[in-house]
Amino acid sequence: MSDTALPPTPHAADGASAGPRARARGWFAVVAVTTGVFSLVTAEILPIGLLTPIGADFRISPGTAGLMMTLPGIVAAVAAPVVTVATRRADRRTMLCLLLLVLTLADLLNATASVYWAVLVARVALGLVIGAFWSIGSGLAPRLVEERQQARANTVLFSAIPLGSVLGVPAGVFLGGLAGWRAAFLAMAALTALVLAALLVSLPPLPPLTVTGLGVLRGLLTGRGTRTGLAATFLIVVAHFGSYTYVTPFLADTAHAGPGLITGLLLAYGAAGLLGNVLAGGRAARALRPVFGGAAVLLAAATLLLPLLGRGAPGAGVLLMLWGVAYGAVPVCSLTWFHTAAPHSPEGAGVVFTSSFQATISIGSLAGGLVVDHSSPAAVMVVGGAVALLAAATVGAYGHRAGPEAMPQPDGGTEAVQQPTAGTEAGAAVGGRAEPRPAGVTRR
C-alpha cells in the first residue's frame, strides 16, 4: 500500500481567516500535545536519575535495574510501525487520548509495584505508548495552527524532548530524594492525567491526511539516505544511552557526588541539551552533515574524558554540559535526516525515526548494563565514546562518497514524490535539485 492522500479536513490551520478564539484554542492544543511529549519523555528517562534507589529497593544490580530503560525501547520499536499501520485510518485525536490514558495507568503501576516484574510490565506499556505516540503525534502540531505559524508550532513541540532532561528528570530526582522514588512516578501519573483532560478539551477531530502502509515503510528502507541515517542513528544513540543510563552510578562512584549534587549536575546537563537543540534546529537544515558529525565528535570527547577529568564536581559538570549540548542536537539531526531522505512520506519517516531510535535506546542500555555489571561505570563511558566516534565516521563517510555538499537523497517507496514548493528551500543541492526542508525546521 502506498502513502495515499486523504481528503483534507478543516482545522485551525486551514486558513488565515481563523478567528482569535480558534487561534487561541489551536495554540492551547499545541501546548497540551507538547506537555504530553514532555510527560512521555520524562517517564521514559526518569529511571536514569532514580536507578540507584530503585535497585536498592528491589535488591537488584544496576544492570538489572537498567532493564527499565531497555524494555520500553524494544516495545516502542515494534509498536511504531505496527500501531501506525493498524490504525492508519483512525482519528489521531482519539489515538492520542487513548495512549495518554495507558501512560497514566503505567505510571500508577510503576509507583505502586511491590515486585520488580510489575515495574517491567509498566515499562512495556510505556514502550507501546512511546512508539505509537511519536509516530502518530510528531507531525500533528502544524495541523493545529495557521500556516504561517506551523514552523513555530513544530519547534515548540520538539522543545519537550530536552525539557524532559532539563526539568523532568531533575525534578523527579529531587522529589524522589524527599519522598522516595515512587512519589516521582505518582507525580508523573497526575501530570499525564491533566494532559489527557487538556487534549480532550482542546484537540479538534484529526483524521489522518495520509495512509501509511507496509509498502511505504519497505520502500523507505531501500533508500541509501535512509540506510545511512539508520546506521548513524544506531551508533550515536547506542553511544549515548549505553553511557548516560549509568551516569548516576558514575557520578556517585567516581565523582563522589551525593544526591543533591547529582540533581544539580543532571539539571546542568539538561539545560545544555536544550541549548544544543536550539543551536542545531536551524543549522541542521542548512548543514546537516557537519552538525550531525560535530555532535557525535563532541559527545565522544565528553564521554572519553569523563573518567579522566570527571573525578570531581567541576570537571564532571563541564563535561556533562558538553555532552548535553552534543546530544541535544542528535534527535533533530536524526529526524531531519529521515525527513530529507523521504519528504514524500512524513509519517513514514516518523515511523523509521521512532523505531530506530527506540530500538537503539534498548540496545544501548542493555549493552551498557553488561559492561557496567562486568566492569565499572567508568568503563562504560569509554566504550560509549568509542562508539560515538564510529557514528561521526559514518556521517562523514556518507558525504565523502556522495560529494562535499551531500545530503540524503529522497528515497523511493510511494507512487508520487512530493515536488518542492514554497515550503522547500535550496539548502544543499544534490544533482542540481533543491532539497525539501523538513516541516518545522526553521532558520534562525
Q: Which band of pLDDT confidence, cut at 50, 70 and 90, is reported for residue 375?
A: confident
Q: Is 18-209's fold the same as 214-413's? A: yes
Between 8-12, 138-142, 225-229, 425-429, the lowest mean confidence (pLDDT) is in: 425-429
Average of per-residue pLDDT values in the chain: 76
Which residue, among 421, 3, 441, has the nearest Cα to 209 in the 3D structure? Answer: 3
Among 114-118, 322-326, 362-366, name the one with the lowest average pLDDT: 362-366
The closest alpha carbon to 39, from 197, 178, 161, belongs to 161
Q: How many helices (H) and strands (E) does the chain have?
A: 18, 2
**Section 379-391 average pLDDT:** 91
- Residue 71 Cα distances to 83, 363, 375, angstroms: 17, 9, 22
pLDDT over threshold 80, residue 325: yes
CB 127 within 8 A of CB 73: yes
Closest CA to 47 of 252, 160, 184, 179: 184
Which amino acid is it at 135?
S
Cβ-proximal residues to 428 (8 Å cutoff; 6+ apart), any chain: 286, 287, 288, 405, 406, 407, 435
What gap in Å lies between CA 408 and CA 273, rounded to an integer? 25
Number of Cβ within a 10 Å radius of residue 400:
12
Amino acid at 293: G
Cell of residue 117, nine digits:
516484574
Out of 92-96, 133-137, 439-443, which region has the weakest mean confidence (pLDDT)? 439-443
What phi-psi label fits residue 410: left (phi over 0), alpha (psi between -120 and 50 degrees) or beta? beta
Give the H or E element holding residue 419: none
Cell, residue 410: 529522497
Q: Which class would CATH give 18-209?
A: mainly alpha
**Rounded to an integer, what distance in angstroms lies between the CA atom of residue 230 and that of residue 402?**
17
pLDDT top residue among 129 and 356: 129
- Take residue 363 and report the three cell numbers written for it: 540496545
For the chain, domain boundaries = 18-209, 214-413
> Strand, coil or helix: what is 5?
strand
Please tell us whether the domain made up of 214-413 is placed in CATH 1.20.1560.10: no
Asked if pLDDT for residue 431 goes beyond 50, the answer is: no
